[in-house]
């Protein structure tokens, strides 16, 4: 049996391997054994960097939230706050979910949302959306309700699409845009 090649193992390398597994096979397939196999190492080596699978999933959730934020921020960059920015954010959200199904799932299923690092990663996304809807003149509490509403539209659509829930032959992107525009119309009133 040939010896295993040496792998420069660090937290980032492990998380990237876990992210690839999640995107290719789903978050439930991210196990210590699958990550170790992907890295061509033995599972116990992972304990040198993480407190088992919960530690990997925690870091993967933070990684996923940060990737989602970067995608949304790139989409909103250069857009005027208001409808233009919200449409851009929503399009990037769906694009992220389509291209990164495992990371998307990980971002939504953080092992402990009350964890300070997980909370901060999610908070930056909320702040980005709040700034995009600022021109609608909502009070702080109303803005949070609006963020929740928009998130529900975006997540609902992304989830239904991933599960094959749209059987009619109408253009999905157009349906999505119309849903977000209807939401924006409600904010305008």
Indicate whether 21 belongs to any domain: no
- The CA angle 59-112-148, to the nearest 5 degrees, is 105
Indicate whether 49 belongs to any domain: no
Q: Are 49 and 39 in contact (CB under 8 A)?
A: no
Q: Are 153 and 187 in contact (CB under 8 A)?
A: no
What predicted TM-score, i.e. pTM, was given to this entire model? 0.90
Residue in the block written with tokens 């977000």: 180
DSSP helix/strand/coil, 164: coil
pLDDT at position 110, please?
66
**pLDDT-derived band of residue 14, with 50, 70 and 90 as boundaries?**
very high
Indicate whether 63 belongs to any domain: yes
Residue 2 CA neighbour count, 13 Å, CB half? 4
pLDDT tens for residues 93-152? 999 999 999 999 999 886 676 789 999 999 999 999 999 999 999 999 999 999 999 999
Indicate whether 41 belongs to any domain: no
Total domain count, the chain: 1
Indicate whether 27 belongs to any domain: no
- What's 151's DSSP letter? H
pLDDT at position 188, please?
86
The overall longest dimension of the chain from CA atoms, in Å, is 70
User: CATH number of the domain that 142 lies in?
Assistant: 1.10.357.10
Distance CA 8, CA 24 (A): 23
Give φ, ψ of 41 to 5 degrees. Answer: -130, 175
Indicate whether 112 belongs to any domain: yes
Distances, alpha carbon 31 to alpha carbons 35, 62, 133, in Å: 6, 17, 39
Q: Read off the tokens for 43.
A: 């599972």
Q: pLDDT at residue 77 above 60? A: yes
Range of the domain at 139: 54-188
Indicate whether 17 belongs to any domain: no
Other beta carbons within 10 angstroms of residue 16's beta carbon come to 14
Rg (CA), the chain: 19
């Amino acid at each position: 049996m040939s010896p295993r090649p040496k792998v420069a193992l660090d937290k980032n390398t492990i998380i990237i391997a876990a992210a690839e597994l999640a995107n290719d096979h789903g978050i439930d397939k991210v196990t210590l054994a699958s990550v170790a196999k992907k890295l061509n190492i033995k599972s116990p080596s992972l304990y040198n960097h993480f407190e088992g699978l919960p530690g990997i999933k925690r870091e993967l959730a933070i990684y996923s939230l940060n990737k989602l934020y970067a995608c949304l921020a790139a989409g909103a960059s250069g857009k005027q706050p208001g409808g233009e920015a919200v449409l851009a954010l929503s399009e990037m959200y769906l694009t992220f979910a389509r291209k990164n199904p495992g990371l998307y799932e990980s971002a939504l299923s953080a092992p402990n949302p009350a964890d300070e690092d997980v909370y901060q990663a999610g908070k930056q996304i909320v702040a980005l959306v709040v700034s995009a809807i600022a021109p609608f003149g909502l009070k702080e509490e109303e803005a949070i309700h609006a963020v929740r509403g928009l998130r529900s539209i975006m997540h609902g659509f992304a989830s239904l699409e991933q599960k094959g829930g749209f059987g009619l032959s109408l253009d999905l992107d157009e349906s999505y845009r119309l849903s977000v525009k209807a939401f924006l119309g409600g904010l305008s009133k």
